[in-house]
């Protein structure tokens, strides 16, 4: 995922996942055999956010930090008035984050997707698109010559929640009008109910199925 001399952009939304990712990469950079520099990046979705606590958090980690002001929220909710805003919002956020990463000389963009995100994305693709698919641990973007990497894909969301509590992460409220009422939340509920009520160990087996599925980027090296 990371090579010698890389400047690795770390997408920091202010949620528990991205803060855990920032802390993990800052720690890893101190002893990883390949020297790399993590660079924290945040997108201000409305152009008027307060990121001072995240800036302080990154300073304590010894991490360079930048904020890019955007009007993504206005475009998605006021101009486009998207009834299902997640896809457009994600596309605009990826574009803005990648542009900022390139401006700062980063060739890799680290994202905070964890193990539960993998399972939910797989189920979304299966149930809503009728295909077996999921994002991959490492994705090469040929148009920009960037790599998207997801270092937390083996980490359960519950473990991240515990780390956030123990380390008193400065979690920034989402502020998204669609927060908590998305199709992804539906998948989270379905998977949780199946595991707790019907199929104990489902999450582990589902993740194994993804690794063995032949989905691009998921073949484990022998």
DSSP-derived secondary structure for the chain: ---TT-EEEEE--SSHHHHHHHHHHHHHHHH-SS--EEEEEEEESSS----HHHHHHHHHHT-EEEEEE--HHIIIIIIS--SSTHHHHHHHHHHHHHHHHHHTT-SEEE----HHHHHHHHHHIIIIISS-----SEEEETTTTEEEE-TTTTS-HHHHHHHHHHTT--PPP---TTTT-SHHHHHHHHHHHIIIII-TTHHHHHHHHHHTTT-TT-PPP-
**Predicted local confidence at residue 127, as pLDDT:** 95
**Predicted local confidence at residue 90, as pLDDT:** 87
In CATH terms, is domain 7-117+134-173 a member of 3.40.50.620? yes
Q: Which residues, at least 6 apart from 150, have a Cβ–Cβ distance to it below 8 Å?
A: 110, 111, 112, 113, 135, 137, 138
**Predicted local confidence at residue 179, as pLDDT:** 72
**Predicted local confidence at residue 220, as pLDDT:** 66
pTM > 0.85: yes or no: yes
**Predicted local confidence at residue 81, as pLDDT:** 80
Domain boundaries, the chain: 7-117+134-173
Strand partners, 7: 37
Burial class (CB in 10 A: 0-12, 13-18, 19+), 170: middle
Tokens of 174: 């989402």
Strand partners, 108: 8, 147
**Predicted local confidence at residue 105, as pLDDT:** 97
**Predicted local confidence at residue 46, as pLDDT:** 83
Q: Going residue by residue through the chain, which has 222 residues, state the pLDDT in tens, using 9 for 90 and above.
A: 999 999 999 999 999 999 999 999 999 999 999 999 999 999 998 878 899 999 999 999 999 999 999 999 888 888 888 777 888 888 999 999 999 999 999 999 999 999 999 999 999 999 999 999 999 999 999 999 999 999 999 999 999 999 999 999 999 987 777 676 788 899 999 999 999 999 999 999 999 999 999 999 997 654
């Amino acid at each position: 995922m990371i090579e010698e001399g890389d400047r690795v952009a770390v997408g920091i939304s202010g949620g528990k996942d991205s803060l855990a990712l920032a802390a993990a990469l800052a720690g890893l950079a101190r002893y990883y055999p390949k020297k790399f520099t993590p660079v924290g990046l945040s997108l201000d979705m409305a152009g008027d956010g307060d990121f001072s606590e995240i800036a302080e958090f990154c300073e304590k980690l010894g991490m360079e930090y930048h904020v890019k002001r955007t009007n993504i929220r206005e475009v998605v909710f006021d101009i486009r008035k998207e009834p299902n805003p997640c896809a457009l919002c994600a596309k605009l956020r990826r574009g803005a984050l990648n542009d900022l990463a390139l401006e700062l000389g980063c060739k890799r963009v680290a994202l905070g997707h964890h193990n539960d995100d993998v399972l939910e994305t797989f189920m979304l693709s299966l149930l809503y698109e009728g295909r077996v698919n999921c994002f991959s641990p490492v994705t090469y973007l040929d148009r920009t010559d960037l790599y998207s990497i997801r270092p937390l894909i083996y980490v359960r969301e519950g473990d991240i929640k515990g780390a956030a509590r123990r380390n008193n992460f400065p979690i920034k409220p989402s502020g998204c009008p669609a927060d908590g009422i998305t199709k992804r939340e539906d998948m989270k509920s379905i998977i949780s109910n199946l595991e707790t009520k019907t199929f104990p160990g489902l999450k582990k087996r589902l993740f194994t199925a993804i690794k063995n599925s032949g989905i691009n980027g998921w073949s484990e090296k022998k």
